[in-house]
Chain A
């Protein structure tokens, strides 16, 4: 089973700042089968990125994904108030596993 480790656990930033979230896999994720989700309190997750770098329908271009192999990054170029949430990475190259999440909180 591929274990995904997300860092940092919590990111304290202000609106307008850049957020960089990391997701590291215990072994290579085949064909960049890596997705990112956003979850707000009391809500279901929302798909942001799949295939490591493809934005899902309706996702603003301030969200971008990059990486391959074992190291992946989600970048939010300029944080909007609605972006403060928990973010999860997920690999789907073999079975499905999720990272433990990164909380982006208001500084």
Chain B
């Protein structure tokens, strides 16, 4: 069974940093592009970032470019999102999602990131 499980500390101060992780299982992780998508409370879905299957290529939404870094470890079946210079408007549930390659057939349950003092 395909599983994606996100984790990461939930509360961070403005200007702070946080790393999200996504553990993948039930499929050949290294065959797939992976993405992060976020959803602010009560709002819609917003694509954040993607990494190709071998980690050699990444892309970011303009709103996070220069602040967030996506990476993966295919040996560990792990996806990461390093988030720096966090702002209140980054408060959201962050989902990792499996890409085909640019629509998403499997999603994690999401992890809430709250940026507040």
Please give the residue numbers on chain A whose beta carbons come within 8 Å of chain B beta carbons, in ascending order: 33, 35, 37, 39, 43-47, 50, 56-57, 88, 90, 92, 95-101
Complex CA gap A33/B108 in Å reads 23
Complex CA gap A45/B98 in Å reads 12
Complex CA gap A35/B47 in Å reads 14
Question: From residue A18, how far is it (CB to closest CB) to chain B in Å?
Answer: 24
B105 touches A98 (CB 8 A): no
A47 touches B44 (CB 8 A): no
A44 touches B108 (CB 8 A): yes
The 7 closest A-B pairs by CB, nearest first: A92-B102, A44-B107, A96-B47, A35-B103, A98-B45, A47-B105, A50-B103
A44 in contact with B110 given A50-B100, A56-B105 (CB within 8 Å): yes
Question: From residue A20, how far is it (CB to closest CB) to chain B in Å?
Answer: 20
Chain A residue nearest to B101 in the complex (CB) = A92
Q: Is the interface of B mostly helix, strand, loop or mixed?
A: strand
Please give the residue numbers on chain B whose beta carbons come within 8 Å of chain A beta carbons, in ascending order: 35, 44-47, 50, 59, 61, 95, 100, 102-105, 107-110
A98 in contact with B46 given A44-B95, A44-B108, A44-B110 (CB within 8 Å): yes
A97 in contact with B47 given A44-B95, A44-B110, A50-B100 (CB within 8 Å): yes
Question: From residue B62, how far is it (CB to closest CB) to chain A in Å?
Answer: 8
Question: From residue A88, how far is it (CB to closest CB) to chain B in Å?
Answer: 6
A90 in contact with B110 given A98-B46, A99-B44 (CB within 8 Å): no
A33 touches B102 (CB 8 A): yes
> Using Cβ atoms and an 8 Å threshold, which residues of chain A touch B109?
43-44
A92 touches B45 (CB 8 A): no
